[in-house]
Structure 1
Amino acid sequence: MCTNISVTVPAAGAAKGGSGWFAVSAANVGFDHAVGSRFDHALLLDFVDPERGPSARVAVELDLETGRALLAALEQVIDAAERSGAPV
């Protein structure tokens, strides 16, 4: 069953793909059929630069447990970074 669950957010950063580093201007987050992993459905993360086309894409498929752990780790690191006083 297709879920069609998908959200796109603007992003600022860089990713390393098959042809090297490229700017990332969007992140797609979804939950649907997996393509490259063993899961029937997976949490889908795509870091992209839509202006450069499909070659400027890094895709990740995770199970939901890993997604929850990643979310918790991101919150922990973001909180620590904000408290550190390092320039952002």
Structure 2
Amino acid sequence: MLAVRLTPGAAKDAIGGGWTDEKGAGWLCARVRAVPEKGRANSALIALLAKALDWPKSAILLESGDTNRLKRLRIRDGAHAAARLTAIIDIWVQAT
């Protein structure tokens, strides 16, 4: 499960940085150029993550946050590559 804070309508697509909510939970920050209409921003986020992780788009599912900027995504079949995926995500969170 991957927690992402999405900013739609950004100047460019990017992943990087972290954000902590009022409960202390950590969220990966992502920005997409797509607007938040008819699921366009959600689709753009999934495409961005799939490309950056070198993972099939069909294996990244939006679990919650369809109309919210805070998203939870499930990366299917990620167990066999958990160390690689975790390392990539950790680097993104450290980026500013």
Q: TM-score, length-normalised on structure 2? A: 0.29
Larger relative contact order, structure 1 or 2 (CA cutoff 8 Å, min sep 6)? 2
Q: TM-score, length-normalised on structure 1? A: 0.31
Decide which structure has greater strand share: 1
Decide which structure has greater helix share: 2
Q: Tell which structure's C-alpha radius of gyration is larger.
A: 1
